[in-house]
Amino acid sequence: MTYSLAPYCYTCGRSTAPGRPTILFIHGAGHDHSVWTLQSRHFASHGWNVLAPDLPGHGRTPGPQAECIEALADWVLDLAASLGLEQVALAGHSMGSLVALEAAARAPRRVTHLMLIGSVAPMPVAPALLDATLSAPDRAHAMINSWSYAPGAQLGASSIPGINLTALNERLMQRQAPGVLHRDMAACNAYTGGFEAAARVACPCLLLSAALDRMTPPKAIAPLAAAFADAAVIRKVVIPGAGHAMMSEAPGAVLDALWNFVSAFPSSGLEPQ
């Protein structure tokens, strides 16, 4: 199947410039590029090329939607190649973390840093949720919000005054085309190659978890962490007080973890500024 290589790609209003390191942000199931607002803007303002695409069939990127994690990984690598980028750092959240992991395994020399946020492998989806994404989308959205946010956010706490995080996330999922969330969740549920992919990763890897994450809890990352090659450089960070939706619940802490990680492992002589 042929997927669009003319996606909507948020670059923070900056052109991709040669000689700068590049970070490519990969969103999760039922989402789009907008989940990376704070993190992408910081990187773009500090010497990095930034790419935050809407995946095929999501947001403003035309379909068809990819049916599996492997196809999405190929799409991400093809996107980078189409822009003349020989190397990129990959940051992915939830489903996007599986895409980033698979891409880093398929092209280890092209990925300088791997940042897996809210990740586990395998990433099974509860049957009730998977069924609801197809038969009762509104109920599926409510279930995701219930499991994705820490209690404080459920009660209205927000890193941005006046913003209701769960309502914002619900509206984001509602904006996607019918069937998008179901196919995303099914792709996560079907992906079984995480351990094999981890063993082929050749760059430093950040495993970023949130202490109150009920969908991909920190303790569940252990099997994936153990699957990386013995020589792999792995950094684990757990953000306190946040849930699976940590980019919105704790945007500053997520940014700090990503920035500290890439700063600790500069690659190819391209250091963050």
List pLDDT tens digits, range 105-159: 999 999 999 999 999 999 999 999 999 999 999 999 999 999 999 998 888 888 7
Residue of 246, 244, 267, 239 lying closest to 113 (CA atoms)? 267
237/117 Cα distance (integer angstroms): 10
Give 159-189 pLDDT, tens digit per residue.
777 889 999 999 999 999 999 999 999 999 9
Is 237 within the bounds of a domain?
Answer: yes
Domain of residue 27, CATH code: 3.40.50.1820
pLDDT given at position 155: 85
| Alpha-helix residue ranges (DSSP H) falling in the chain | 37-44, 69-82, 95-106, 127-135, 137-148, 151-154, 165-174, 180-190, 194-200, 222-227, 246-249, 251-264
pTM equals 0.95
Q: 136 lies in a domain?
A: no
* CA geometry: angle 11, 14, 20, nearest 5 deg: 90
Tell me what pLDDT residue 4 has.
58
Note whether residue 163 is domain-resident: no
- Would you state the pLDDT for residue 137? 95
Domain-located, residue 244: yes
Higher pLDDT, 3 or 158: 158
Q: Let me know if residue 144 belongs to a domain.
A: no
Q: Evaluate whether residue 99 is within a structural domain.
A: yes
Print the domain residue range for 77.
9-123+186-264
For residue 140, being part of any structural domain is answered with no
* 187/36 Cα distance (integer angstroms): 22
Q: Which helix or strand (DSSP H or E) is residue 206 part of?
A: strand 205-210
Condensed to tens digits (0 to 9), the pLDDT of residues 22-68 reads 999 999 999 999 999 999 999 999 999 999 999 999 999 998 999 99
What total of structural domains would you count in the chain?
Answer: 1
In a domain, 57, yes or no: yes
